Structure 1
Amino acid sequence: MILLTALYFGGAAITIWFLRTPADVTLFWPAAGLAYAMVLLFGLRYAFAIAMAQALLHLLLVPAPPVFVGFSICSNALATVVACLYVRSRRKTLQLRTDDGLLLLRGALLLCVISAGIGSTGMLVAKMIPSSDVPRVYLQWALGDLLGISALTPSVLLLITRKQLRKLHSGVNRVRLREYLSWVVIMGVGLLVIIPIAYQGGLYPLAGVIVPVVLLLWSAIRFPPLFTALATSVATFTLAMILGLGIDGFRRPETLADTSMLMATLVVISTIPILLAASFYERHVVMAALHVRATRDPLTGLLNRDAFEEQARLVLASHNGDVSLLYIDLDNFKLINDAASHAAGDEMLRHVARLVKAEFGDDAWLAHSGGDEFTVLCKQTAAAATVPGRRLLAAIENMRVAWQGSNLRTTASIGIVTCTAPQASFDELLSQVDAACHEAKELGGNRLLVAGLNEERLDTRNRMMQSALNVREALDQRQFALWCQPVVDLRAAGDGRAHFEILLRWRDAQDHLHPPASLIAAAERFRLGPRLDRYVLSALLNWLEAHPQTLPLIRQCNLNLGAATLADDEFGDYFATRLQRSNLLPEQLCLEITETSVVRDLGRTRHFIQRMREMGCRFALDDFGTGFCSFSYLRDLQVDYLKIDGSFVRDVDQSPLSEAIVRSITEIAHLLGMRAVAEQVENDAQLACLRDLRVDFAQGYLFQRPLPIEEFFARPGSTFAFDAST
């Protein structure tokens, strides 16, 4: 309050130079601008300082009739309060933008109208002016206040809020010191040039004012708004003193018209640069916000994926030392989203982002790559980067996030790859570190793995990922072909109809056929199994529908399904709908599922088997004996066949253990009303042993190698009655 009183008093005291008689009205009232800004910033109660300073001014410096003193105090304090109330009613928080600048200008006009009305009325009541001078006094009073506000209010507002402005919008304008110095020198020379022009007695001395005006526009475009506001205040004050007081050869305005034109000109000079600066600043802020939105992740504040990759490529292209790339993936993060909500997951990600910042700081590039993944690029060796990496693992494991009465926790897996000059490409590094991270996750998670220390496992994973890409390509290009291998009844001769299993072959880009074992494994690992099984089912039924003459020749067709397919409810719907449209009877179809897929999700498997059996399909449990080999769940599974894995069949005639396993599986199958099927039968000795063990069916090279489905149904004689003894 004391400071505002002193500042207002000082600003008002300066204007005494403009007065020639007590009845004069000052051409420039900077105290109005100071009071307007301070009351806006600190509250209406500070209007009391205006009244105190105005009373001291009349008491000490500008004596006036007692009647007028009350009007004078009221004109300044009351007008400021009303103007501030108007501004605050429309904007609670002022920002540096054009709309707020125009709002301040409207408030300033309201202040000037009220202040001039009260002040001119007071001078008339105190008989300081005749009634004929009221319009002149009113106009000069209003313009003096307006000039003071336009010259000082922006500077005071920006000067007091400069820290917040710098904090919110740092880096909007960055200008070199040389340009600042050049501007100051030119402005000083421009103001000094006006004086000799005036002394020359030229007709157009005011033409020199154009130099400060141009420089203020330059400042508005190039420099920060605070600099522009302060420069405008200084330039306006200087011009007001020189022109208004008639200093150094300038003629002081005598008539009302001259005074009004001069003050209006100064108001325009002091207003336009500020509005222009606000406009440019607002545009810069919007551009900066768009840049942040384009480069920053809104959830964590870290770089987003695109911005990180751009920075990483620049670093790899310019840095000659060691560079390490870390890939951080949270373990089982989906459980948090599913169990606690995605909002809880977002809160967890924010906490993890803070931990990543705390460990790697400002010396590294940090990014939230998407989902539950983070990436870090630092100029360190793998050994050096491993230290904060392991600390980060421990910090994430110990972190607890409070959420709705419970504590959420998680762990992470981290992969690290390091390269030295000449640097590898970013894409290559990202592939290596991603493989290392996923390898760490598959080893149980909550661990850190450095690429290059376990090359064999990482190479295997890379080959698996390449196989997954090949699966997608083969599905898109329909490069899989259907082959068939017969399943032979060892109990009796065939009835002329085919019992066979559908097998796949992959045709590569060079039109070579390959067994797709690696591709099928990759499809299961990378969740492409349901799509692959849909393709096989659709291709089989389409072929049979295109060759209806083959349908009577089919006794049973075996079709393999993967583990992920059994858990896919949409596949069950698709399967039922597609089979209903087909000419193939459900009784002619046997679905083969593996023992490991059954154990993975026994509940879903039971539901799937029950649904398909209600349609009439049969089931076979494939590769039996290689999984958990728990006979307890067999009682609950409604399967028709147990297919004994070929690893036991190949040694059945030589290994007592294999023989015992085959015998046990066969006896269990018969006890449960199932049939035993031996796979990979290759010679007569194996066949004889299987018949002695009472195995029901067999398939393998001994009977027939797999054939394309077209050749399988086009064999000479068109008979499928295989003799098990040949």
Structure 2
Amino acid sequence: MSATSAKALHRRPIAQVPLWQWALLVALTLGLSAASRLLTLPDVSFSALWPASGIFLGALLAFGKRALWVLVPTMLFWSWVLMAEPWVMGFAGAIGLAIGSVVALVLIERGKKTIGGRGALSPLHYLPNLYFKGAVVGSGVSSLIGAAGYYFAFPEAAAFQWQDVWLVYWLLEALGVILFAPIFFFILRRPQFTLESLANDFAKRRVLIWLALAMTAISLSIVLGQLGDVRYAPIFAFALFPLVCWFAAEASPPSLDLVIPQFAALFVVFSIYQWGGLPEVEDITGVLRVLLQVGILAVMAQLVASINHQRHLLLERFKRQAYQDYRTGLANDRGLYADIADLLENKRGRSHFLAYISLLDIQIIKELLALDGSATVESVLTQQLQQFAFDNAVIARLSEGRFAVLLQDISPEQAYASVEELHQRLSRPVDEAGMRTNLRIAIGVTAVDGKLYSPQQYVSVAAQAANYAKQHSLKIHWVDNPKKVAAEHYTKLNHFGLLKEAIENDELELFAQEIRALDQTQPQDIAFEVLIRLRDEMGQLLTPAQFMPAAEAFGLMPELDRWVIRHTFAFLANQRQRLQRVSKCAINLSGASLSDPELASYIGSQLEQYRIPAAKITFEITETEAITSKSQATQFMLDVRTLGCRIALDDFGTGLASFEYLRQFHFDEIKIDGVFIRDLASNTIDEKIVLAICNVARAMQLKTVAEFVENSDISEQLAGLGVDYAQGYGIGKPTPIGELFQHGESIQPVIHTSD
């Protein structure tokens, strides 16, 4: 039985009982009570198996106390009319069963509240309730009243000790509870489930083999017993014990609870009628001995079944956990992948969309509110998501602060409105965590159109869309072409692998692009910017624009920057004679490296190791990178300038606070972004901007370098505006650094044209 079925079984409220179930209860009570009279010795007034105690408790657990309105009259009818028992004994027996069953019911219901907290009795506590509260306490009460009625009805019973009669009654009714209460609970509470369980179990090959072995053991025991071979007949009779335990490990609870009473009755018949070579039962003591054996058999089988059932539930729980998030109960990544895969395989419905939700401030929330606070925030978000309007939406928690919603069978217009509503819901303040400001939420959305190869690709595309929304301060970013985004991501992953391997194996290639002074009266020393190139699997060179996004996305920039510094210094150390003519070697640094507090000391150690004059090294920092960490950038520039190196502000003019950075930080030069240089000859606005930059630089005693200089006309115009240096294809294209040094022997103060 699955965990879901178990919950429904124990938590389902008592419904209106149909008339046929009341009729079935009456028929079974009368029929089994009458049949039990066959399981006794001659001249003995009680049944060896007494099902009534189990029927009472099972019916009360299934229908509640209202079942007594049917059970008590039925037992009185059976005692007074069918069995012609004295009215005192019949009345005491029926009332005793009612009172004992009510006591057991009250104790079990109270145990539900104590154990479950919400009135739910876990299957783990099923047997203790059955044995102690039902068989011990409830049967003890009912047997006490029944024994009193027996004494009043039969004065000759005074020859027996009263407690002996009570204990015999107690054993009979306790065994009846153990054998019959479980199956009647199933039959009356969930008849359809019981029938389905029986049909499913007896359709299994292993259960059919068990049934064949059981029938064979019974038949051989009877045949051998009738033939008089008492040596082997008991072997097959007692083989029923392990067979029942085997069945307990294979079958569902309803099937086992139905089989155990039958095997118990069969064993009693074998013993009383001396079938199968079993020892003869001559008196009440012998009957009690048989009943104890039957009770042990039933308890053993139920314990085996309980252990196997708990094992099954545990395995089911593990299976659910594989597809379920432990903290929120939502689907996890595996569960989401499975639903997307099912959607793609069946190709049902109109259109489907996947929304990836990113809580941008999750780390800040953890720092401010600790783990409990962040868990509260995620719990509130989970509740908001679970209240989402669409019934068929699949909601998943992928990681800390990361959720996903799969919208199925929905039009693009509905999806757009739903995601907008979702963003509005999730962005609200979380009062439960003491947060009074709106949450920052970024959502990426992609269509699940069946054009990608796997569910993972759709989640990856949606995650990239959410990251794009975060980087560009958007609430929601929609992906129009998920196949294109997935292909770009695959390329980025491939470049990441190539770059990582190239760094580890020193397979990157250093290139350089010449920087030339525009004042022809200045000595034309070697000045250049170091560039990097990577070869793909085919040996083709990849430009930084192709592989740098992968390095930035996967955190390789600090490692790459150190590789460039180390290998550039090593190259310069091998060019001692030419090194004297080098006036500037410019190396770009990423924003991630600026956050590395050890980078300045690393540069110092490399300068010392390779004996490179620090004044020849310039580190270029883009102003947008400096924005992300002002304190670390300031300290880094201070440390590097202390070493003797120079600092250049790259891509000047494109940021929002270019001149503010010139005032805040100490630079040695600025590089004017190419966006102001390309159309300089035809754009007077660009010309005025470049002139203004040069005036500011001159006032601050900074050198200026113009990027993207494509021809001699632009270089002459730049010289007239006061720009100190030029860099671009009109000066020289990027070449392997070794070739630049060979060419540097004969550098002439001539600006090359673009062709």
Same fold (TM over 0.5): yes
Contact 2:679 2:686 in 1 (8 A): yes
Q: CA deviation at 1:549?
A: 6.4
Q: CA deviation at 1:11?
A: 13
Distance 2:38 2:199 in 1: 38
Match of 2:723, SS state, is coil
* Counterpart pick for 1:326 among 347, 354, 360: 354
Alignment of 1:655-674 (within 5 A): 655-674=683-702
User: More deviation in 458-467 or 501-510?
Assistant: 458-467
* Counterpart pick for 2:304 among 276, 284, 288: 276
Alignment of 1:13-412 (within 5 A): 27-28=48-49, 92=115, 95-97=122-124, 101=127, 128=157, 140=168, 143-155=171-183, 175-176=199-200, 179=203, 220-233=248-261, 236=264, 253-256=281-284, 258-319=286-347, 324-330=352-358, 332=360, 334=362, 337-338=365-366, 340=369, 341-356=373-388, 358-361=389-392, 366-371=395-400, 372-376=402-406, 378=408, 380=409, 384=411, 386-388=413-415, 390-399=417-426, 400=428, 401-406=430-435, 409=439, 410=441, 412=443
For the pair 1:466 / 2:481, whether they are aligned, the reply is no
Contact 1:36 1:153 in 2 (8 A): yes
Amino acid at match of 1:416: A
Q: CA deviation at 1:278?
A: 1.9
Amino acid at match of 2:500: L
Match of 2:598, SS state, is helix
Amino acid at match of 2:123: L
The equivalent of 2:7 in structure 1 is: none
Match of 1:626, SS state, is coil
Deviations 1:17-76 (A, max 9, x none): 989999977644556667888999999xxxxxxxxx9999999956899xxx9xx999x9
Contact 2:517 2:524 in 1 (8 A): no
Alignment of 1:538-549 (within 5 A): 538-544=566-572
Amino acid at match of 2:584: Q
Contact 1:499 1:554 in 2 (8 A): yes
User: More deviation in 572-581 or 55-64?
Assistant: 55-64
Deviations 1:587-611 (A, max 9, x none): 3322112233345555554344334
Aligned residue pairs, count:
678
Match of 1:612, SS state, is helix
Q: CA deviation at 1:513?
A: 2.8
Indicate how the Cα distance of structure 1 residues 101 and 444 shifts in structure 2: closer, same or farther if over 3 A, else same: same
Deviations 1:108-164 (A, max 9, x none): 8977999999999999xx994668x8998698556435523432354467679879x
Match of 1:487, SS state, is strand
Segments of structure 2 that go 5 or more residues without pairing to the other structure are: 1-21, 65-73
Indicate how the Cα distance of structure 1 residues 600 and 308 shifts in structure 2: closer, same or farther if over 3 A, else same: closer
Distance 1:537 1:62 in 2: 108
Indicate how the Cα distance of structure 1 residues 622 and 465 shifts in structure 2: closer, same or farther if over 3 A, else same: farther
Contact 2:362 2:374 in 1 (8 A): no
Give the RMSD, CA atoms, in angstroms: 5.9
Contact 1:300 1:350 in 2 (8 A): yes
Match of 1:592, SS state, is strand
Deviations 1:378-406 (A, max 9, x none): 3x3xx626514522431441354432333
Distance 1:461 1:64 in 2: 85
Distance 1:467 1:19 in 2: 83
Contact 1:487 1:699 in 2 (8 A): yes
Contact 2:37 2:47 in 1 (8 A): yes
Indicate how the Cα distance of structure 1 residues 154 and 360 shifts in structure 2: closer, same or farther if over 3 A, else same: closer
Distance 1:156 1:550 in 2: 99
User: More deviation in 231-240 or 623-632?
Assistant: 231-240
The equivalent of 2:444 in structure 1 is: 413
Deviations 1:180-210 (A, max 9, x none): 9x99xx99x989x99xx89x97768999978
Q: CA deviation at 1:328?
A: 2.6
Contact 1:464 1:518 in 2 (8 A): no
Indicate how the Cα distance of structure 1 residues 13 and 417 shifts in structure 2: closer, same or farther if over 3 A, else same: closer
Distance 1:491 1:515 in 2: 31
Amino acid at match of 1:474: L
For the pair 1:510 / 2:538, whether they are aligned, the reply is yes
Contact 1:328 1:413 in 2 (8 A): yes
Indicate how the Cα distance of structure 1 residues 402 and 607 shifts in structure 2: closer, same or farther if over 3 A, else same: same
Distance 1:173 1:714 in 2: 87
Contact 1:359 1:388 in 2 (8 A): no
Match of 2:701, SS state, is coil
Indicate how the Cα distance of structure 1 residues 175 and 210 shifts in structure 2: closer, same or farther if over 3 A, else same: farther
Match of 1:511, SS state, is coil
Contact 1:624 1:645 in 2 (8 A): yes
Amino acid at match of 1:670: R
Distance 1:137 1:245 in 2: 24
Distance 2:662 2:486 in 1: 34
TM-score in terms of structure 2 length: 0.69
For the pair 1:706 / 2:738, whether they are aligned, the reply is no
Indicate how the Cα distance of structure 1 residues 109 and 427 shifts in structure 2: closer, same or farther if over 3 A, else same: closer
Q: CA deviation at 1:670?
A: 1.0
Indicate how the Cα distance of structure 1 residues 723 and 468 shifts in structure 2: closer, same or farther if over 3 A, else same: farther
Q: CA deviation at 1:628?
A: 3.3
Distance 1:40 1:459 in 2: 61
Segments of structure 1 that go 5 or more residues without pairing to the other structure are: 44-52
Indicate how the Cα distance of structure 1 residues 321 and 576 shifts in structure 2: closer, same or farther if over 3 A, else same: same
The equivalent of 1:617 in structure 2 is: 645
For the pair 1:449 / 2:489, whether they are aligned, the reply is no
Distance 2:453 2:473 in 1: 29
Indicate how the Cα distance of structure 1 residues 12 and 685 shifts in structure 2: closer, same or farther if over 3 A, else same: closer
User: More deviation in 282-291 or 210-219?
Assistant: 210-219
TM-score in terms of structure 1 length: 0.72
Indicate how the Cα distance of structure 1 residues 42 and 530 shifts in structure 2: closer, same or farther if over 3 A, else same: farther
Contact 2:444 2:465 in 1 (8 A): no
Distance 1:217 1:211 in 2: 10
Q: CA deviation at 1:643?
A: 1.4
Deviations 1:399-450 (A, max 9, x none): 5443233355446332213249xx9655665566566666666665444636
Distance 2:420 2:624 in 1: 33
Contact 1:151 1:271 in 2 (8 A): no
